[in-house]
Structure 1
Amino acid sequence: MGVALRDARRSVTSWCRRHTIGGDGAVAAARRGHRQGESGALSRQQELELIDVLRGVHPDEFGLDEELWTRQSLAALIQRRFDLTMDAGTVGAYLRAWGLGPREPRERACGLCVGAVERWVRGEYPAITRAAQEHDAEVYWIGRVRLRGTMPAAEVISAVSSRGRVRFMVTTPSVDPPLPRDFVLRLSGADQHPVHLIVDGSWPRNEWPRRLPRRIVLHPLPSCGRTLAPPDRLTA
């Protein structure tokens, strides 16, 4: 009986994680505001090339003054690489097509977790925002999405602030990769600004980075996957 329950838990957790990770990002999606081939728009081949260029690298490696990719730094890279000038709105349309941008908390949960997430928003989220205000910290919601139409596969890890600012990195997915420590540290920035990070069910707690600086506080969004690992101390 114990083995059957463990197997059932693994199945539910696996399904929950696949849902949370998503897969709703799309390369060369139609909803852009520009059609491919028009002035100021990337062709499909250019978009795929851009994604490959972004894999595993950060803006500062291109001499850009950003810790993680934003609309502004991505626009600068597009200008440099393709000689295309794009405003923030056009770049934002690409990011939304990739599955990035603000989402309601319930959209970050699988069907089994929606009720728990809604209760968490009512009961615990207000305390997180109060603590962030007291420490002049920014609140980010962290998640990831797999992009369709890329070869090899591409995954985008993103953080969306409570003010709607998007910061992200592109990786090549592996089997159950942990939440990247470098990504979390870079959200705090070179000035080591305090941040509160809400992590969705893409990563169980045993896949979170350990012994982070006290200025970085991680909060788990309710998820089926949270049952796999008991809470432990994650900050130093």
Structure 2
Amino acid sequence: MRYPQGGGLTAERRAFRERMRVEAAGMFAAGQGNAVIAKELRVSARSVQRWRRAWQDGGQAALRSKGPGLSPKLSEALFAVLEQELDKGPVAHGWDDQTWTLSRIRTLIERRFHKSLALSTIAQMLRRHGWSHQVPARRAVERDEAAVAGWVKEVWPQVETPRRRSEPSSSSRTKQGLR
């Protein structure tokens, strides 16, 4: 189960799953079969097989949670440095305009930290830290609010296609007008 912030399971959910594995260990010791345990715990038989193998190899300790599955690709300290670099803007790093793209951020990470990350990983990492591609930091200085409001009132209605009025219709091919 993944979350939009880019994390994995919550601590509570990891603890719940660990309790299920420990409960399964008690059933293994009682000699119950995999199918019975799977039905009782409402998990797949394949999971019970993996748990039984781990239990046989390492006992109940082998069924304990090992913590979160993935560590962050950039530590908090490195991400803070990345944020400082992003605040400088793309022009400071050699690009022609003031637009950050995931590709540019990946290039920056490769240059600065010598790490290669997938674009989706970078997007998740940025979202997790509150960055969004949809919200600009500030409006353009050249923006004329009065001109924008006038355009929306006067020009847009002429450009927008008018909606069709709803009329009773027929999907029949034998309609009189179609012959």
- TM band (smaller chain): 0.3 to 0.5
Larger Rg: 2
Query: Of Structure 1 and Structure 2, which has the larger fraction of its residues in strand?
Result: 1
